[in-house]
Amino acid sequence: MSRLLFIEANDSTHQKKGISSHMNEAFLSSYRTHHPEDEIVVLNLFEERLPFFDLRLASAAAKLFRGESVDPDDDVPIGKLQEYLTGFLDSDKIVFSFPMWNLTVPAPLHNYMDYLAQAGQTFRYTAEGSIGLVKGKQVLLLHSRGGDYSTSDKADSEHAVRYMLDILRFFGIEDVQTIILEGHQQYPDRADELTKKALSACEKAGETF
């Protein structure tokens, strides 16, 4: 039995669901059907409302991982940091679902990755540079963006999937798959075609991931 951590960075708190939410549903429904024995943990980052990672939390985390005591009077969410880090490291498979917001990832997702980026836990420093410590995990990125960033003149402006690939590589994770729905707003006449193709890919990934 494997443990799947599904990290949702889509703001589904409003009434109208975005296309990312439909991609989530397509993947999860298929995954549950084809992997009935697996444990699935869904983490919605917008519902978590994490305090932003700051120097006080960074200092408290450094103390904790050096084996030093953290002052309980310090108003920092060190317990949440431990919870997210443990949940991430204990999972065999990890899915990140996120749209593009202003050329990059939504702020709650970037904040969550800052919580995970702890020296001695997900990476370590050496004289030759940093080395990732997270090995043996499968990761899938489910991503949607209304514009088409696959063309050479737009590719350099894409900082969402590229950021996620970079930070995961920084952690030591190399086995990363992607399903990207793009251009459904830029090409309204092809929106249904592009959406159906992406949802079909999500269903297939739920079977094989």
Contact between 63 and 70 (Cβ < 8 Å): yes
Long-range contacts for 152-161 (Cβ within 8 Å, ≥24 apart)? Answer: 157/103, 158/100, 158/103, 159/103, 159/104, 159/105, 160/98, 160/99, 160/100, 160/101, 160/103, 160/104, 160/105
Token representation of residue 1: 């039995």
165 carries a ligand binding annotation = no
Nearest to residue 84, comparing CAs of 59, 56, 61, 107? 61
**Phi-psi group of 164: left, alpha or beta (phi > 0 → left; psi -120 to 50 → alpha; rest → beta):** alpha
103 carries a ligand binding annotation = yes
145 carries a ligand binding annotation = yes
Helix, strand or coil, per DSSP, at residue 43: strand
100 carries a ligand binding annotation = yes
116 carries a ligand binding annotation = no
Residues annotated in the binding site for FMN, as ranges? 100-103, 144-147
Residues annotated in the binding site, as ranges? 100-103, 144-147
